[in-house]
């Protein structure tokens, strides 16, 4: 198994991509903490996984809750090797003039500040342990932005830049930092990205060379590679999982 003996904390693991990553890591031998603001969803996913998986309530916009989630995970598993910053939020697809200040602040708080503060919370543990891996879930939205998602697109651009910045800063500590950039993925978040106009799903699929949307498992497979020893010399990469959409 590719993650035997490893421990991982996955944010936003109650649903969609995060849940698939947690399931995949556990299947590959890792003990996994599923952190989510929706504790019931995290609990249900952890129960389904078994393998000593734990559910942790955590709103990634709250520094105290991040600190507590990391402490709870280290307390339960005695170690932490892998952090997956997956929790994310968006506004519905709409013109930039219709994005309100609160909405803008909330999306940046979840997607950027939460991710940054989670990195701050795990780095001391990784340093003590002699290394670690951080995987951020970015998006093709930060590489090839589509109209109507301006604030969300900007958060994912920030995620990609943070990934590269932290990769070079933390490399001397043997901490690898990578991102996965999924194309539109079949999760509960998808309708907000596509917007409500009829036929959007089919129109979008027509722009993907491999001719389909991503499934959460496609993203989990890339996150598994990046967390495994096979990626030992890989850091600072933004791995597009997009069926060729960004070519």
Positions that interact with ligand NAD (CB under 6 A): 11-12, 14-18, 36-38, 41, 58-61, 86-89, 110, 137, 139, 182, 184-185, 187-190, 193
Rounded to the nearest 10 degrees, what angle do helices 16-27 and 216-227 cross at? Answer: 50
Question: Which residue is listed with tokens 């005695």?
Answer: 78
Nearer to ligand NAD, 53 or 137 (CB): 137
105, 115 Cβ separation under 8 angstroms:
no
Shortest reach from residue 125's CB to ligand NAD, in Å = 19
User: Closer to ligand NAD at the Cβ: 80 or 110?
Assistant: 110
User: Minimum Å distance from CB 209 to ligand NAD?
Assistant: 17
42 Ramachandran zone, left/alpha/beta (phi>0; psi -120 to 50): alpha
Q: Say if CB 192 and CB 91 are below 8 A apart.
A: yes
Helix (H) or strand (E) holding 33: strand 31-36
**122-to-45, 63, 177 alpha-carbon distances in Å:** 23, 12, 12
- Residue 128 CB, shortest distance to ligand NAD, in Å, is 25
- The reply to whether 104 belongs to the active site is no
Nearer to ligand NAD, 167 or 241 (CB): 241
Which of 152, 160, 166, 241 is catalytic? The answer is 152
Nearest distance in Å: CB 193, ligand NAD: 5
Residue environment code for 1-34, b if the CB has 16+ CB neighbours within 10 A, otherwise e: ebbeebbbbbbbbbbbbbbbbbbbbbbbebbbbb
Q: Which is nearer to ligand NAD, 144 or 174 (CB)?
A: 144
Q: Which residues belong to the active site?
A: 152
């Amino acid at each position: 198994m590719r993650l035997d003996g490893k421990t991982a904390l996955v944010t936003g693991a109650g649903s969609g991509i995060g849940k698939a990553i947690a399931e995949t890591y556990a299947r590959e031998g890792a003990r996994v903490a599923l952190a989510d603001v929706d504790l019931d969803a995290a609990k249900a996913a952890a129960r389904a996984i078994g393998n000593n998986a734990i559910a942790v309530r955590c709103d990634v916009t709250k520094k105290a809750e991040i600190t507590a989630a990391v402490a709870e995970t280290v307390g339960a598993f005695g170690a932490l090797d892998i952090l997956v910053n997956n929790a994310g939020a968006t506004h519905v697809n709409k013109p930039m003039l219709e994005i309100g200040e609160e909405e803008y602040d909330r999306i940046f708080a979840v997607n950027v500040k939460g991710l940054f503060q989670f990195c701050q919370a795990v780095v001391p543990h990784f340093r003590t342990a002699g290394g670690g891996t951080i995987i951020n879930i970015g998006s093709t939205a930060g590489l090839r932005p589509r109209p109507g998602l301006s604030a969300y697109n900007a958060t994912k651009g920030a995620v990609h830049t943070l990934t590269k910045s932290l990769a070079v800063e933390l490399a001397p500590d043997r901490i690898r930092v990578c991102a996965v950039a999924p194309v539109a993925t079949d999760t509960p978040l998808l309708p907000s990205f596509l917007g409500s106009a009829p036929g959007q799903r089919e129109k979008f699929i027509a722009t993907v060379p491999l001719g389909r949307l991503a499934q959460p498992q496609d993203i989990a497979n890339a996150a598994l590679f990046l967390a495994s020893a096979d990626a030992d010399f890989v850091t600072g990469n933004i791995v597009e999982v997009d069926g060729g959409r960004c070519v």
